[in-house]
Amino acid sequence: MTTLSPTLFRWHRFLYGLTMAMIFGGLVGCAVMGERGLYRSEDYAIYQLPQASTAEALADKFFEDPRRAWVIEEANPGSAFEKGKTVIIPLKDDNRAGLFREGFQVVPILCYHRFGATCRSALCVSDASFRAQLAYLQANGYRSISLRELYAFMTYQRAIPLRSVVITIDDGYRSIYDNAYPLLKEYGFTATLFVYTDFVGATSMSVTWDQLREMKAAGFEIESHSVSHSDLTMQKDGESDADYRQRIIRELVDSKTIIDRELDQETQFLAYPYSKYNRWVLAQTEAAGYRMGLTVERGSNPFFADTLVLKRNQILKEDINYFSSRITTLHPVNLD
C-alpha cells in the first residue's frame, strides 16, 4: 500500500474538510481569497490560475521567494500550471525533519575535484560523465540545494525538497569554471566550492577570484578548504606543540578572513583537507566561526547528524550505477 507523504496527507485532509464544509453550507476556518483564489486555511491555499504560470512565479507570489518553487511542485505533482488549473499552495513547513512512516530523509553530499575532456586520475571526472550524472539527477527529480539550506534543515528551521542533493567541488581548479560551471548552469544546478586560498589565482590551473565572484553571483557558494590544504591533524617535524596549534588556527581563521574579504560574505562552512580532523580541530573549527564541517566519509546525512562531521560521497568512478548508489535520500525504517 502506498504511503502518502505528510504534505499530500494534509492536502487530502484539507480537501476532505473543504468538501464537507461546502456540503453543509459553510467554510469553517477558511477565507475567500479573491482574484481566482478559492479558499484558504492556516495550512493551505487553493488557487485557480487566472493565466498560465510557473511554480517559480507562484512561489514568488505566495512566499516572496521563487527558490521555494519545489514546495508547490511537490504538492502538485505533474502539474503544468496551465490557465484555469486549480493548485494547492502549502503555507507551512509541515515536515522540517523529513520524517515519514517508511523512514527518514537523508541528504547526500557529492564531492568532486577536477574535470576534463578526458581524465586519467580518479579525482578527475570527464565532461561526458559529469553531463550524464547531471542528466540522471534531473531526470530522477533531484534538486541541488545549498549548504545554507542544508544547515537550516539540520537545525530544524526549514523543510527541503524530498530528493535534495548537495554538489560540492574541492580545491579550486580552473576546470571548475571552464568545465563544470557551464554544465551545472545548463542543467539548472548549483554547487558549493571549497577553495584553499593559497591556490586561488596562483597558477594557470587554478580558479581566480573574479571567476569565483561570477559563480557566486550565479548562486554558487564559495567556502573554506583552509589556507594551504595542510593536514590539520599533522604536526611538522621539529614543530612545537604551541607552534602547531597557532599554525592550524591560522589555517582556519585566515582562510575565512580572506574569503570574507574577497567575496564580501560570511564564510560558514569548512571542508577538512584530506578529511583529517580530531577533537581539538573540531573545537577550533567551531571557535573560528564555522557552522558545518565536511569530511569525505561515505554516507548521507539526516537532520540529526553532527554538523561538524558531515559525510560526503566522493565520485571516483564514471559508471552511472556507481553514481546512483551514492545519492540515497531516504533511510528506511520499519515501524510495523
How many whole angstroms separate alpha carbon 89 and alpha carbon 87?
A: 7
pLDDT of residue 4: 47
Model confidence at 38: pLDDT above 80: no
For residue 267, the domain's CATH number is 3.20.20.370
- Are the C-beta atoms of 48 and 85 separated by less than 8 Å? yes
**Do 73 and 104 fall within a single domain?**
no
**What's the DSSP call for residue 275?**
G
Distance CA 162, CA 55 (A): 16
Residues 226/250, Cβ–Cβ less than 8 Å: no
Q: Are residues 127 and 181 in the same domain?
A: yes
| C-alpha cell recorded at residue 267 | 564564510
pLDDT tens digits, one per residue of 153-195 = 999 999 999 999 999 999 999 999 999 999 999 999 999 999 9
- Scored b (16 or more CB within 10 A) or e, 297-335 reads eebbbbbebebbbbbbbbbbebeeeebeebbebeeeeee
Report if residue 95 sits inside a domain. Answer: no
- Looking at the structure of the chain, the number of domains it has is 2
| Structure confidence at residue 129 as a pLDDT band (50, 70, 90) | very high
pLDDT of residue 95: 83
pLDDT at position 1: 38
pLDDT band at 297 (very low <50, low <70, confident <90, very high): very high
Structural domain ending residue among the three candidates 20, 55, 90? 90
Q: Cell 557552522 sits at which residue?
A: 291
C-alpha cell at 86: 486549480
Rg over alpha carbons for the chain, rounded to the nearest Å, is 23
Boundary of a domain, candidates 57, 90, 123: 90
Same domain for 201 and 112, yes or no, is yes
Q: Is residue 208 part of a domain?
A: yes
The CA angle 314-315-318, to the nearest 5 degrees, is: 165
199 compared with 41, residue with greater pLDDT: 199
Domain boundary among 42, 63, 90: 90
What is the band of 333 on the pLDDT scale with cuts at 50, 70, 90? confident
Round the average pLDDT of the chain to a whole number and report it: 89
Cell 499552495 locates to 89
> 119 pLDDT exceeds 60?
yes
CA 279 to chain centre: 26
Pairing state of beta strands 107-112 and 164-171? Answer: parallel
**Domain of residue 160, residue span:** 100-332
